[in-house]
Structure 1
Amino acid sequence: MLGLLALLTASVFFGAAIYINVAEHPARLHLDDRAALAQWVPAYRRGFEMQASLAIISGLLGAAAWWQSDNPLWGLGAAIIILNWPYTMLLIMPVNQRLETTRLDEVNEETRELLLHWGRLHAGRSALGAIAAVVFLVAAWLGLQG
């Protein structure tokens, strides 16, 4: 059961992340630079809270499933979903901080470039979520076979 919950939360994480990459962020980029930044700031804060929580919960559930079942795939999936934390802190947070500290009256071409760069970096979060969900799915499938 713990593993299935890990799979569920990783899948929700992936769904939210990929939605941002294929719908929300491209739509935001159709706005002018000032409006795009004004929309990004509150959307990012809400998304961070949700995705950070899902990554932690999924990682803990995956680790618990590994401990319970002794199947290392659960541990691998847990490690991959938790990788979102260092990935975000090391690669995305510097861009986030620059965007968050940009005042609307200071928006310029660099702001647009930062938003584009942020979208590319966020795709890495989507990829980590997808990989973790697939690993959890394989672990669950193998658990049903045995």
Structure 2
Amino acid sequence: MPLQTFLQNVLASPSSQTALKTLTVGSIGIFAGQALSYSTIIMPALRTIPPLTALPVWAKCYNTGKNIQVPLILTSLFAGLPVYYKTKNAFFLMGPLVMGAIIPYTLALIMPINQTLLNILDGNKGGKGKHSSNHGKGEGDLKELYVQWDLLHFGRTVMSLAAFGLTLYGSFSRHALTMFQ
């Protein structure tokens, strides 16, 4: 069965469309909420404790977050794009595409910092001193990496909040519901 026929069959009923819209908005909303909590709660709290003490906590949060966030991005894409295909509601194209853009943004800008922080953590597990690592990063350098990470992560937060707003508008706005029919 060709993909187009499959999509038409799946999206033929209003309940299927509603389920996919709910999955799209829900996955984007959960991602945005999690991203906002990192920007407003987790990182500010981690910056109040010594950087080397914060590093294992940051790593645990990072590993937990990536295991949740990647599936949320994929869910928003795989649920939202078929909704756009069927309804031509551009907000269900824009929202998931903004979410999808988070992946290259993260890989290009945040992943190098993630790798540096994880390498420092691995170096500290090898028994080096309390205030430096095998990678020559002291506590001041760690503080700067946290600030850079937090600023770049805020970009992800803004992107996800924008995607959430777009899909919410596309779901509930009278204008959005009628402008693409």
Q: Assess same fold via TM > 0.5.
A: yes
Contact 2:91 2:166 in 1 (8 A): yes
Name 1:79's counterpart in structure 2.
97
Q: Does 1:22 align with 2:53?
A: no
Work out the CA distance in 2 between the residues paired with 1:142 and 1:55.
23
* 1:63-142 correspondence to structure 2 within 5 Å: 63-102=81-120, 103-104=123-124, 105=128, 106=133, 107-108=137-138, 109-142=140-173
- Segments of 4+ moved more than 3 angstroms: 142-146
Rounded Cα–Cα distance in structure 1 between residues aligned with 2:168 and 2:108: 28
Structure 2: which 5+ runs fail to align?
Answer: 1-17
RMSD between superposed Cα atoms in Å: 1.4
* Contact 2:28–2:72 (8 Å) recurs in 1: yes
Unaligned runs of 5+ in 1: none
Alpha-carbon distance in 1 for matches of 2:141, 2:112: 14
TM-score, structure 1 as length reference: 0.94
- Larger relative helix fraction: 1
Quick check: which has more Rg, 1 or 2?
A: 2
Which structure carries more relative contact order (alpha carbon 8 Å, separation 6+)?
Answer: 1
Percent of aligned positions with the same letter in both sequences?
25
Paired AA for residue 141 in structure 1: F
Matched, 1:48 2:63: no
Give deviations 1:80-99, integer Å, cap 9, x for gaps.
01111001000000111111
